[in-house]
């Protein structure tokens, strides 16, 4: 038995089918002229016949359920799984227009490559540049690990005293509900 494991992500709701999954393998058939009694010194050179066969699984029917619309957070961007979040911001003592790096690490189990950094509607008076992202997986299926985002923002006013709280929302399929992770506001000193 050779197990083959593949992670699939449903992209639509309703009845879906998986398979059949096919694979071609080469098998070694024993030599037809083997001696039944005793040792045959030429047997090591006669390995028998190789034959290619095709194997196929049955089709598996599954039901893909829609995500609930009740209580969906405003900044929900489609993340499904179980996650934790850490946010680091620096430097925090800057001049107007200086770059500040916001590093967001989202760790856990889910489709990490599909995670996107949600828009932060409360980040007014900051010029925000497009984020970069890097995924580091810790399992063969790529479903467990960390996705790290780095985004450069620049304060546009000396009236800014903090970077407002950062939040990330996801649907937890085990708990069957939405969760929102929040990083508190970070104090900033913005000089002219």
What tens digit of pLDDT does each residue of 131-185 get?
999 999 999 988 999 999 999 999 999 999 999 999 999 999 999 999 999 999 9
Q: What is the pLDDT of residue 143?
A: 92
Q: What is the pLDDT of residue 118?
A: 86
Neighbour count for residue 14 (Cβ, 10 Å): 9
Q: What is the pLDDT of residue 44?
A: 58
| Pair of tokens at residue 107 | 């760790």
Residue 154 CB partners (closer than 8 Å, separation 6+): 97, 98, 99, 100, 126, 127, 129
Whole-prediction pTM:
0.78
Closest CA to 91 of 77, 101, 106, 78: 101
- Residue 147 CA to residue 114 CA, distance in Å, equals 10
Weakly modelled stretches of the chain, pLDDT under 50? none
| Pair of tokens at residue 30 | 């024993």
């Amino acid at each position: 038995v050779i197990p083959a494991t593949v992670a699939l992500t449903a992209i639509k709701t309703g009845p879906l089918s998986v398979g059949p999954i096919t694979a071609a393998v080469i098998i070694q058939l024993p030599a037809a002229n083997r001696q039944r009694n005793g040792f045959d010194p030429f047997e090591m050179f006669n390995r028998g016949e190789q034959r290619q066969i095709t194997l196929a699984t049955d089709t598996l029917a599954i039901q893909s359920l829609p995500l609930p619309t009740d209580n969906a957070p405003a900044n929900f961007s489609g993340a499904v799984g179980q996650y934790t979040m850490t946010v680091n911001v620096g430097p925090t003592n800057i001049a107007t227009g200086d770059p500040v790096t916001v590093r967001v690490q989202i760790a856990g189990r889910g489709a990490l490559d599909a995670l996107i950094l949600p828009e932060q509607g409360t980040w007014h008076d900051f010029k925000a540049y497009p984020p970069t992202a890097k995924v580091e997986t810790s399992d063969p299926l790529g479903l467990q690990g960390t996705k790290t985002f780095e985004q450069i923002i620049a304060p546009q006013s000396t009236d800014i005293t903090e970077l407002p709280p950062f939040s990330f929302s996801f649907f937890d399929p085990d708990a069957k509900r939405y969760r929102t992770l929040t990083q508190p506001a970070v104090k900033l000193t913005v000089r002219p």
